[in-house]
Chains A and B, each alone.
Chain A
Amino acid sequence: MSTTARTRPGATSEATPAPARRVRVDRDRIVTLAMVAPSVLAIGVFVYGFIAWTGWVSVSNWTSFVRDLSFGGLDAYRWMLTDFRYLSGLRNVIVFTILFVGASLLMGLIIAIALDRSPRGHPVWRTIFLFPLAISFVVTGVVWQWLLNPSAGLNIPLANLGLEDLPLWYVSTTIVPGVTWGRIEMVVPLALVAVVIAAVWQLSGFAMAIYLAGLQGVSEDLREAARVDGASELQIYRRVVLPPLKPMTITIIIVLGHMALKTFDLIYTMTGPGTGYVTDVPAVYMYESTFRANQFARGAAISMSLLVLMLLLMGPAIRARRKVEEETAA
């Protein structure tokens, strides 16, 4: 029996497998592998193979319409780290991600708590708050480009209300507080706030849906017990309701954060790079360097930096979620 086990490692779990059974198990193993092989192979090539390929392009001499994959060194990366537009875009995407994810978390939580108190017409509210999720970034960009246009949209009723200093929205070139680091002004370009508003409009419903699912898991008994102990509603939220929502918060950060880091269509349709690149992001710059300027090595280097940014955000977030899962499982 032991020799059989050694030669047939796939069938060892059965104590004394009948010969017919063993044939079945072996055939099943082959069928199973055949079921996933095409997908696994495709992911291997189209994800891992292509990442390596892009990595190679980023150090190649492919800097014109002519494809030249000979080794060219780290020029593209050196260029990137001193390029004003790239560094502005990097600042923008970090600021955008923080503001957008932060605002969506807050808004999603508030609305989820409100909906969790079962207001009249609960399904109707939910339908309203979630529908932007079905819409494309391009549509969102087209509409909000108009709504936040300084001479149209929201500024028309604001002007009718007698407001003198109308906001310039995405046309603004102001960066607050305006600390300069190297050639790059740091912190928040006001124009980005307009893009954040549009993105929050579209995706805060996602945060709401996740929080709502989490809130339904918080038992009413627990709240009632806290209430009997004389806790105020505010204390109940701080001590009883909010702590179990931590895994939801991490999930939202992972999903919205990675969407924010690769934002392309919204910026591309709504604002473009903006004056002084106040609304530019590396994803847009990558597209334009590669397919407009034929600077393939530079485009590849920019996208490599996007991948690094993603790993920097996702690594800790996924580890945090695993830890929370283990804690709740224990």
Chain B
Amino acid sequence: MIARLALPRVALYALLGLFAVFVLVPVYLMVVTSLKSPAEAILSRMWHLPGDLSLDAWRSAFATLRPYLVNSFQLAVPATVLSAFLGSLNGFVFARWRFPGSEIVFNLVLFGLFIPYQIVLIPLVVTMQSIGLYNSIGGLVLVHVIYGIPITTLIFRNFYARIPQELLDAAKVDGAGVLSLYWRIAVPLSLPGFVVVGIWQFTQVWNEFLWAVTLTSAGQRPVMVALQNLSGAQIVEWNVQMAAALQAALPTLIVYVLLGRYFVRGLLAGALKE
């Protein structure tokens, strides 16, 4: 009996281990390569551990990426805050304060989740040029906030749907209007919602590439475009490229490691319409 049970258990761990290797191999390669000196960062020693640790690649990558990392923070932080705020306003109304046709309007907003963004790219570039926000971080913030509305509204709507109706009714009897219900009851109860949406939007905005590459040039580029340009340049050594890729990925990875629970909740909240 024990032998019969033991075998699937072994198979179970073998399976998990195999998949973990698949997931971790790129990380191993990135980390060891980024810590190698140029002399060691060669194909024949690609899989080897670094002989002696060198931080040169990290320094050199950071010197190149620093202005773009700053751009990305200046983009992602305000875009995230504004997205969360708008999403919570919308979510509260669509969950708790329906108006005639609100379900239809909500679905029309939700449709924005599914459009391939190429479909709005040309008008977007033209519009940004004509309102003077082309090639500016502010313009990118605006774009991320607007196209973030569908997902942030959806997540907050699911969140606010869980607030007990009695709580709102009680406050209503006391004469509270919609704004005080929102500020005094909904917002304090939805702090986890703000965390979920915040992580979600920060990750999305930080990692985004299409808007960044079409709406900015030169010094205004966010870090992902800078990284892509760096990897396109043939002369850059692998150790510098891997260090740069790690640095570009680090902010979202840190958020994930610190707040992983909320990150997963965001995934589920976005995907499972309740």
A residues near B (Cβ < 8 Å) are 24, 27-29, 31-33, 35-36, 38-40, 42-43, 46-51, 53-54, 57, 67, 107, 110-111, 114-115, 117, 119, 125, 127-147, 151-153, 156-157, 201, 205-206, 209-210, 213, 251-252, 255, 258, 261-262, 264-265, 268-269, 282-283, 286-287, 290-291, 296, 299-300, 302-304, 306-307, 309-310, 314
A-contacting 9-mer, from B18-26, B51-59, B189-197 = B18-26
Total number of A-B contacts with CB less than 8 angstroms? 241
Distance between Cα atoms of A119 and B179 in the complex (Å): 48
Of B133-141, B158-166, B247-255, the segment with at least 4 beta carbons within 8 Å of chain A is B247-255
Task: Sample 17 A-B pairs with CB under 8 A, ordered by A number.
Answer: A35-B182, A36-B94, A53-B122, A54-B119, A115-B16, A128-B23, A131-B23, A138-B224, A139-B227, A146-B241, A201-B23, A210-B268, A258-B114, A268-B228, A269-B231, A302-B118, A309-B116
How far is B255's CA from A139's CA once the two chains are assembled, in angstroms? 16
- Complex Cα distance, B270 from A252, in Å, reads 11
- Is B264 touching A209 in the complex (CB atoms < 8 A)? yes
Q: CA separation between A100 and B35, bound complex, in Å?
A: 33
Known A-B contacts: A137-B207, A147-B25, A153-B29. Give 15 more (CB < 8 A).
A35-B93, A39-B149, A50-B119, A54-B123, A107-B19, A131-B257, A134-B263, A138-B227, A141-B231, A145-B231, A210-B272, A264-B118, A265-B210, A304-B119, A306-B119
Instruction: List B27-48 residues whose CB lies under 8 Å from chain A.
Output: 29-30, 43-44, 46-47
B245 touches A261 (CB 8 A): no
Give the residue name and chain of the B residue nearest to A291 (CB). B214
Question: Which residues of A sit under 8 angstroms from B214, Cβ to Cβ?
Answer: 287, 291
Q: Is B175 an interface residue (CB 8 A)?
A: yes
Closest to A151 in B: B43
Chain B neighbourhood of A132, CB < 8 A: 23
User: A111 touching B114 by the CB < 8 A rule?
Assistant: no
Query: Given A28, A40, A117, A131, which contacts B177 in the complex, CB threshold below 8 Å?
Result: A28
Question: A119 to B12, Cβ gap below 8 A?
Answer: yes
A265 in contact with B209 (CB, 8 Å): yes
Instruction: Please indicate the chain B residues that have their CB under 8 angstroms from the CB of A36 in the complex.
Output: 89-90, 93-94, 105
A255 to B227, CA, bound (A): 26
Chain B minimum-CB-distance residue to A322: B273
> Of all chain B residues, which has the CB nearest A262?
B116
The answer, yes or no, to whether B50 is at the interface (CB within 8 Å) is: no
> What is the CA–CA distance of A133 and B271 in the complex, to the nearest angstrom?
14
Known: A28-B177, A114-B12. A43 touches B150 (CB 8 A): yes
Q: How far is the CA of A125 from the CA of B120 in the complex (A)?
A: 39
Pick the residue among B149, B241, B253 that contacts A131 (CB under 8 A).
B253
A328 to B67 alpha-carbon distance, docked (Å): 52
A127 shortest CB reach to chain B, Å: 6
Chain A, Cβ-Cβ closest to B225: A138
Is B252 a contact of A35 with CB atoms below 8 Å? no
Report yes or no: B178 in contact with A46, Cβ–Cβ below 8 A. Answer: no
- Whole-angstrom distance between the alpha carbons of A127 and B15 in the complex? 16
Other-chain contact of A156, B16, B43, B213, B231 (Cβ < 8 Å): B43
Do B245 and A156 have beta carbons less than 8 Å apart? Answer: no
In the complex, what's the smallest C-beta–C-beta distance from A85 to chain B, in angstroms? 16
Complex: how many Å from CA A265 to CA B225? 10
**Minimal Cβ-Cβ distance residue in B for A269:** B228
Whole-angstrom CA separation of A306 from B255 in the bound complex: 33
B210: chain A residues within 8 A (beta carbon)? 264-265, 287
In the complex, A134 Cα to B44 Cα: how many Å? 31
Known: A128-B20, A151-B43. A146 touches B120 (CB 8 A): no
Measured CB to CB, the nearest residue on chain A to B120 is: A50
Roughly how many angstroms separate A208 CA and B111 CA in the complex, as a whole number? 25
Report the separation of the CA atoms of residues A128 and B252 in the bound assembly, to the nearest whole angstrom.
15
CA–CA, A250 and B116, complex, Å: 19
Q: Is the CB of A57 within 8 A of B122?
A: yes
The contact of A35 among B90, B117, B256, by CB within 8 Å, is B90
Partner of A33, one of B99, B111, B147: B99
Closest residue of chain A to B26 (Cβ to Cβ) is A143
Contact A138 B16 (CB under 8 A): no
A210 and B228 in contact, given A138-B207, A296-B122 (Cβ under 8 angstroms): no
Report if B115 contacts A (CB, 8 A). yes
Closest B residue, CB atoms, query A28: B178
The smallest C-beta distance from A138 to any residue of chain B, in angstroms, reads 5
Which one of B43, B94, B249 has the highest number of Cβ atoms from chain A below 10 Å of its Cβ? B249
Note all chain B residues with C-beta closer than 8 A to A283: 116, 118
Q: Are A152 and B43 in contact (CB under 8 A)?
A: yes
Report if B167 contacts A (CB, 8 A): no
Q: How far is the CA of A32 from the CA of B97 in the complex (A)?
A: 7
Most buried by A among B15, B118, B214, B238: B118
Contacting residue for B118 out of A43, A131, A265, A306, CB 8 A:
A306
- Distance, CA A251 to CA B228, complexed state (A): 31
Contact of A303 with B224 in the complex, beta carbons under 8 Å: no
